[in-house]
Structure 1
Amino acid sequence: MKYRQKTRSASVGAIAHLGIAALVVLGGGGVALKLNGGSKLEEAKQVPKPLHDVTTTAGTQTLVLAGGCFWGVQGAFQHVVGVVSATAGYAGGSAATATYEMTETGQTGHAEAVEVVFNPKQVGYGQLLQIFFSVVHDPTQVDQQGPDVGKQYRSAIFPLNDEQAEVASDYITQLGKEGAFSRPIATSIELGKTFYRAEAYHQDYAYNNPDQPYVYIYEQPKIDALKRLFPGQYRERPVLVADRAG
């Protein structure tokens, strides 16, 4: 997450430091980022729904996933109707290494992850996966999202049980067969991993820092794409960690 300390007042310099060769404005207001080195993020687009979903239960259900910087992943899911909470944290490693400083080394097994608690009567596990693959991140990048490189930025789903793991695995296979992306999906499924909540200063970061260059360039487009591609599932006022704490 280097370069995030920049302020938007130096936006031209920030774009250069972020390694962006070009910002390409797409139809409908979307933005594609062409990065130095020739790589290109997949354009946000609505991919097909999963062919099957987990069993709907009374009460809430929980989904844990990772797709690059947790600021943007959290920020996007906070705008989804039916999401009760979205919390930034770490998953994939041990409790002893579940800190920002240690996770950023890329040596802990952790990914920056988000725990999404949702009401399955309003939004299903499968639809949340559809949003994840459509607008939240580029699932074809290996150990990277945009300028952030390392295993801590990998695309991953951390199922809480066998049924979630099966639905996620089948969905990845489905998207591959249907050619939803121009490159193979790199998302891993990591069953049996514990989620650890991140430090307080990471919570609601995208909401609290909309003019920060990293947020403005990389994270806000995810929320914009959610609104554009899933208007029926988008809510203007996000559900914030701070609201629940208060």
Structure 2
Amino acid sequence: MNFNRCELIVAILLAAWCCVPSGAVAEEAKRETATFGGGCYWCVEAVFQRIEGVSNVRPGFMGGRTENPTYRQVLTGRTGHVEVIQLEFNPDVVTYETLLQVFWRTHDPTTKNRQGPDVGPQYRSVVFAHTDQQRDVAEQYKRLLNRQKAFRSPVVTSIERASAFYPAGSDHKDYFNRNPDKQYCQAYIIPKLKKLQELFPDQLKADSANNPDAP
């Protein structure tokens, strides 16, 4: 390839880059990823869908040994995976520290391998850190919670390096918003959303501020 052709290609690429709206580039640069496991992912998904600055909340599995696990496989508790939600957030709108606070206050981080009626290692409390900074912040926050005795028992949430994320099937996505009248949603998810509304009113999206059941 000669230099003239290289210069032409570079010029075309630069022109294409310049045509991208600066706001879109900035918005893309602001997106970061977070992954949390706090029991049934239907519950955790519903909570974080209502936080301002959070988008693309997806339920799935992380932390196991089997590639492309099915829900039924994970349900056995033998694959090593955890039910998690993975989300994108804009740190200019909501900080990672705030996400951790929401996470720890909307499930019981003091019980090992159990959240409410859901029992097994697939329901353990875990923060999957995507960066060293996320890991450090989560570890410091966990130490602070235990030092201040924020809960009656010590926080047992594990903090681990993020690994492969396997999205759940479509029947598990947006579960509460599609099935608010289901018995499980009424018994376990709605109380979490009401607690979220009480504890974090300033962090909620506009539609959720006055109505915790709003999608």
Instruction: State the TM bucket, normalised to the shorter chain.
Output: 0.7 to 0.9
The residue aligned with 1:33 is none
Deviation at 1:199, TM superposition (A): 0.5
The residue aligned with 1:156 is 126
Equivalent-residue separation in structure 2 for 1:128 and 1:94 (angstroms): 27
Equivalent-residue separation in structure 1 for 2:162 and 2:104 (angstroms): 22
> Superposed, which structure 2 residues align to 1:38-53 within 5 Å?
none
Q: Structure 2 residue aligned with 1:99, among 49, 66, 70?
A: 70
Q: Structure 1 residue aligned with 2:142, among 172, 179, 187?
A: 172
Question: Can you list the C-alpha shifts for 1:109-141, whole angstroms capped at 9, x where unaligned?
Answer: 101000021111100111000001112x11001
Given that 1:61 and 1:119 are in contact with CA atoms closer than 8 Å, whether structure 2 keeps it comes out as yes
Given that 2:58 and 2:87 are in contact with CA atoms closer than 8 Å, whether structure 1 keeps it comes out as yes
Question: Can you list the C-alpha shifts for 1:10-58, whole angstroms capped at 9, x where unaligned?
Answer: xxxxxxxxxxxxxxxxxxxxxxxxxxxxxxxxxxxxxxxxxxxxxxx94
Structure 2 unaligned blocks of 5 or more? 1-27, 209-215
Does residue 229 of structure 1 match 2:177?
no
Q: Aligned partner of 1:100: which letter?
A: Y
Does residue 145 of structure 1 match 2:112?
no
The residue aligned with 1:124 is 95
Q: Structure 1 residue aligned with 2:38, among 58, 63, 67?
A: 67
Deviation at 1:95, TM superposition (A): 5.3
Does residue 134 of structure 1 match 2:105?
yes
Equivalent-residue separation in structure 2 for 1:119 and 1:197 (angstroms): 21
- Partner SS state of residue 190, structure 1: strand
Equivalent-residue separation in structure 1 for 2:61 and 2:197 (angstroms): 27
Larger Rg belongs to = 2
Count residues with an aligned counterpart.
Answer: 181
Q: Structure 2 residue aligned with 1:191, among 149, 157, 161?
A: 161
Q: Structure 1 residue aligned with 2:79, among 108, 115, 119?
A: 108
Equivalent-residue separation in structure 2 for 1:235 and 1:128 (angstroms): 14
Deviation at 1:148, TM superposition (A): 0.7
Deviation at 1:98, TM superposition (A): 2.3
Q: Structure 2 residue aligned with 1:88, among 59, 62, 71?
A: 59
Equivalent-residue separation in structure 2 for 1:194 and 1:164 (angstroms): 17
Equivalent-residue separation in structure 2 for 1:237 and 1:197 (angstroms): 26
The residue aligned with 1:218 is 188
Equivalent-residue separation in structure 1 for 2:165 and 2:176 (angstroms): 20
Given that 2:66 and 2:79 are in contact with CA atoms closer than 8 Å, whether structure 1 keeps it comes out as no
Equivalent-residue separation in structure 1 for 2:206 and 2:124 (angstroms): 28
Given that 1:97 and 1:103 are in contact with CA atoms closer than 8 Å, whether structure 2 keeps it comes out as no
Q: Aligned partner of 2:114: which letter?
A: Q
Given that 1:64 and 1:195 are in contact with CA atoms closer than 8 Å, whether structure 2 keeps it comes out as no
Q: Aligned partner of 1:199: which letter?
A: G
Structure 1 unaligned blocks of 5 or more? 1-56, 239-246
How many percent of aligned residue pairs carry the same amino acid? 43
The residue aligned with 2:175 is 205
Given that 2:36 and 2:128 are in contact with CA atoms closer than 8 Å, whether structure 1 keeps it comes out as yes
> For the structure 1 residues 94 and 144, does the alpha-carbon distance in structure 2 shift closer, same or farther, using more than 3 Å as the test?
same
Deviation at 1:108, TM superposition (A): 0.6
Q: Aligned partner of 1:149: which letter?
A: V
Equivalent-residue separation in structure 1 for 2:156 and 2:207 (angstroms): 32
